[in-house]
Structure 1
Amino acid sequence: MNDEKASSHRPISASAFLVLALSVNIPLAQATDSPEAPPAAEVTEVKLDTVTVRRGDLEQTVDAIGKLQFHRFADANVQVAGQIKNVLFAVGDAVQEGKLVMEISPAIRANQMETNRAQMARLRAELADQQAQTDFAELQFKRQTQLKAQNATREESFESSRMSLSSARARTDAINAQIQQLEATLKFDEESSRHTQVLAPLSGTVVAVNARPGQTVGVGQAGLPLMRIADLSQMTVQARVAEIDVTGLRRGITANFQTPGYPGRTWSGKLRQVLPVPAEGTGEQGKQTFYNVLFEVDNPQQELMSGMTTHVQFIVAQAKDALLLPANLLGTRDAAGMYQVSVVNLDRRIVARKVKIGLRTAQQAQVLSGLEAGEQVLVGPVPAPALQPKPAAAVGKP
């Protein structure tokens, strides 16, 4: 019984304490009171989860959904009223600029033009006759004016000659006006008769045809274009970007996109324009506001087609060969704009380090100062054994 009591007050040996320290994962330097123990926390026996600081490229992007559309196209329409005689190309056909694509039978008939020409001849004859009468009326009025000056004619004769001259001149002006009107009609008729052919306005591919033989058409009629030709060697991407992201975009930045039709392939272009008005159907009645952003992409093989869906990434900023650290290790920024991380040094000690961060994404951050490539950064909080204070008295003392 006395032996048991004595054993309960017996000092614990150093070797027994070492076994205890290893069983609870406490660092040896913190569990013993040997004079050689360093003041910093050794973590040899504590299992640590670390991340190595490495170099790499980092991009800050803005994601958006868009559609492909034609960049350059033109419509082939008639210049005169008439009836479509022939349509020479169909959708998908290639056509060269200036090539005949449609023929029109003008509504102006040849007999109508002949009638107008005959009327013009008659009016010119009337004008010649009327001009002769006007000249005679001017002579009569001139003679009556001289006689009146000599009191050799009556007032009635003088007024009658003056009225006759005015009337002759008015009839001459009326005939001249009719001639001018008919000249304009004849000019239009002759111009219309020459526009029986519709030519391709540019080189490209026919992408729409809304004309058929026998169809009656008019100049400037509303509705779909009779024929649309597009240059498919270059396409435009129209992407819808949320208002929270659009302010970070600027002209000339790189835009990469993929489309479901070609899995794994990526196309690139340069941002051309951010339209300064909200996209149709957005920003109303509590809806989020989006803006249309445009850029072009080369399409030499004509693989991309109008209407294809695009998944776009605009590269807002990028860093090449930068020191990278997972962004979730940063925590909260202090008043000086620095972040604190825990570094496990070569002696397996945990050291607090202040770092300055540059470019940052949701996954990674660019380290500007405070860390070097290859250093180990602790993931999560510092383990509890590393936070325990050094014992105040020697363990072996009773």
Structure 2
Amino acid sequence: MSIVGFFRKLNIRKILLRIVLIDLAVSLAGYALYRGASGEEETVFLSAAAEVTDIEYAVSAQGVLQGRNQVDVGAQVSGQLQSLKVKPGDKVKRNQLLAEIDPLPAKNALRQAVVKVEQLNAERDATLHKLKLAESNDRRYQELGSTEAVSKADQDKARFELETQRANLVSLTAQLHTAHVKEEAARIKLDYTRIFAPMDGQVLAIVTQEGQTVIADQMAPVILKMAQLDTMIVKAQISEADVLKIQSGLPVYFTIPGDPDRHHDAPVDAASPSGTTGENSKAVFYNALFDVPNLENRFYTNMTANVRIVLEAKKGVLTIPVAALGDRREDGTYSVRVLGEGTEVRTAYVEPGINNKVRVEIRSGLQAGDRVVIGERGGVEGV
């Protein structure tokens, strides 16, 4: 055999070997597909154990912390803010001086009111003297009239003077009363130039700075904001889908972003009946309100609170993942698939309790340690 013939025969053998290998691979793949399609491959279950745990069903909400009593301290007179006696963060007592508005215009107005009162008092005194004289003249003229020593015209003139002085006295008395009212109002306005704390509390913010002019003709301009922070109020936004579940007295706890591991507990005080809509949606929210002590001064106004209002809760009860629940029966029980040894699966019927959409309490039908099916894949896997 020639060398060329030898190599030609060798190449043919290689080609035939490749064809055989390809055919074998295709056959194996087809067999695998056939087995998968025919269900011969073993079903694999994802499972979880029934465990004794604590469980709660709660409404989650985001809230905001505010001072229990929060007020805007304003000016009741117009003028230049002459001085501020406090700064943000200061603790103040009721009736403590907070700020002063330039008192000079109010002092001048009071002086004018006092002068007016003095002037009217002097006029009234003079009128009283004139009245006494008119009464004396009238009495004398009336007595002389019976003797015809004076004319009827003189008698009438004396009587007219008497009535005039009486009317003047009434008018001056009324003017004097008005002047006293204006004097009192001027004194009050002068007092209003000194702004005092309406309650014990803490200064939150300064709104008007020294040197600014405030105008109080239509509404009281705000000088500063203050609040009582010993007790804070939490306003938690509850969706309209959950608000009917909220009742006074329900336990609630919340955390703040700066200390997420610490729970702060309180009872719900009330749910506000007035709703508000979201900024970028038509969803309606209602405020659930509750107080919380701030003895450690850890809470600040407008701080975010992550709130959970507990509707139901139990400790140390048997629970399983909600994903394990099957169909609901007429008697209220649910079917649950339970793994036995190997790949054995049996069906149990359980009575559920608290369901928080993640885990569900099992009152009967299972025991701690039972493994329930929560899904299927490929060998038995547990979670």
Flag whether TM exceeds 0.5 (same fold).
yes
2:355 maps to 1:360? yes
Quote the offset at 1:176 in angstroms: 0.6
Aligned residue among 245, 248, 251 for 1:251: 248
CA 1:111–1:309 in structure 2 vs 1: closer, same or farther (change >3 Å)?
closer
- Which residue of structure 2 lines up, in the alignment, with residue 332 of structure 1? 327
Equivalent position of 2:99 in the other structure: 102
Corresponding position: 1:370 with 2:365: yes
The secondary structure found in structure 2 opposite 1:226 is strand
After TM superposition, the structure 1 = structure 2 runs for residues 51-90 of structure 1, keeping only pairs within 5 Å, are 51-90=48-87
Question: Alignment identity in percent?
Answer: 27
Cα distance, 1:316 vs structure 2: 1.5
Q: 1:199 aligns with which of 196, 201, 204?
A: 196
Displacement after TM superposition at 1:126 (Å) = 2.1
Rounded Cα–Cα distance in structure 1 between residues aligned with 2:183 and 2:103:
14
Show the counterpart of 1:387: none
Return the offset for 1:171.
1.7
For 1:26-37, list aligned pairs within 5 A: none
**Structure 2, gaps ≥5 residues long:** 1-39, 377-383
Q: Relative to structure 1, is the Cα distance of residues 194 and 240 closer, same or farther in structure 2, using a 3 angstrom cutoff?
A: closer
* Residues 317, 151 of structure 1: alpha-carbon distance in 2 compared, 3 angstrom cutoff: farther
CA distance in 2 between partners of 1:233 and 1:287 (Å): 36
Choose the corresponding residue for 1:126, options 123, 135, 139: 123
1:182 paired with 2:212, answer no
User: What is the Cα deviation at residue 248 of structure 1?
Assistant: 0.8
The aligned counterpart of 1:320 is 315
Alignment partners' CA distance in 2, 1:194 and 1:363: 64
Contact 1:243 1:289 in 2 (8 A): yes
Residues 158/358 of structure 1: CA separation in 2 closer, same or farther (3 Å cut): farther
- Taking a change above 3 Å as real, the CA distance of residues 193 and 289 of structure 1, as seen in their structure-2 partners, is closer
The answer on whether the counterparts of 1:108 and 1:189 sit within 8 Å (CA) in structure 2 is no
Q: Deviations over 1:347-367 (max 9, x none)?
A: 997654432222112111112
Shift of the 253–150 alpha-carbon distance from structure 1 to 2, 3 Å rule, reads farther
Indicate conservation of the 8 Å contact 1:324/1:367, yes or no. yes
Report 1:271-282 matches (<5 A).
271-281=268-278
Structure 1, unpaired ranges of 5+: 1-23, 27-45, 382-398
Aligned-partner Cα distance in 2 for 1:262–1:96: 30
- Which residue identity is paired with 1:359? I
TM value normalised by structure 1: 0.69
The separation in 2 between residues aligned to 1:111 and 1:325, in whole angstroms, is 81
Could you say which residue in structure 2 is the equivalent of 1:32? none
Counterparts of 1:100 and 1:266 in 2: how far apart (Å)? 38
For 2:336, the equivalent position in structure 1 comes to 341
Residue 294 of structure 2, aligned match among 292, 299, 305: 299
Question: Which residue matches 1:16?
Answer: none
Q: Does 1:169 align with 2:143?
A: no
* Deviation by residue 1:304-323 (Cα, 9 ceiling, x = unmatched): 33333333222121122222
Q: Is the 8 A contact 2:117 2:179 kept in 1?
A: yes
For these two proteins, the number of residue pairs brought into alignment is 338
The Cα shift of 1:330 comes to: 2.2
Contact between 2:76 and 2:220, CA under 8 Å: does it hold in 1?
no
Residue in structure 2 matched with residue 215 of structure 1 by the alignment: 212
- Cα 1:161–1:280 change in 2 (3 A) is farther
Q: Distance in 2 between matches of 1:242 and 1:202?
A: 35
Contact 1:58 1:322 in 2 (8 A): yes
Question: Compared with structure 1, are the counterparts of its residues 275 and 367 closer, same or farther at alpha carbon in structure 2 (3 Å cutoff)?
Answer: same
Post-superposition Cα deviations, 1:114-162, rounded to whole Å, max 9, x if no partner, equal: 4443432332232233234445555676788899999999987777666
Q: What is the DSSP-based 3-state SS (H/G/I as helix, E as strand, rest coil) of the residue aligned with 1:247?
A: helix
Give the letter for the 2:174 counterpart. Answer: A
Structure 1 position 227, deviation (Å):
1.6
**What SS is found at the alignment partner of 1:131?**
helix
Equivalent position amino acid for 1:88 in 2: K
Gap change, CA 1:48 and 1:239, over 3 Å in 2: closer
1:340–1:353 contact (8 Å) kept in structure 2: yes
Tell me the secondary structure at the aligned position of residue 128 of structure 1.
Answer: helix
Measured in 1, the distance between the counterparts of 2:185 and 2:304 equals: 48
Other structure's SS at 1:69 match: strand
Cα RMSD (Å): 4.0
Contact 2:113–2:186 (8 Å) recurs in 1: no
SS of match in other structure, 1:279: strand
Letter in 2 for 1:173: V
Q: Does 1:288 align with 2:287?
A: no
CA distance in 1, matches of 2:111, 2:322: 86
In the alignment, the residues of structure 2 paired with residue 363 and residue 110 of structure 1 have an alpha-carbon distance, to the nearest angstrom, of 72
1:220-235 → structure 2 map (5 Å cutoff): 222=219, 225-235=222-232
Which is further off, 340-349 or 120-129? 340-349
Contact 1:240–1:279 (8 Å) recurs in 2: no
Q: Distance in 1 between matches of 2:170 and 2:344?
A: 111
Q: Following the alignment from structure 2 to structure 1, what is the Cα–Cα distance between the partners of residues 209 and 372?
A: 73
Shift of 1:75: 3.5
Task: Kindly provide the amino acid, as one letter, of the partner of residue 240 in structure 1.
Answer: Q
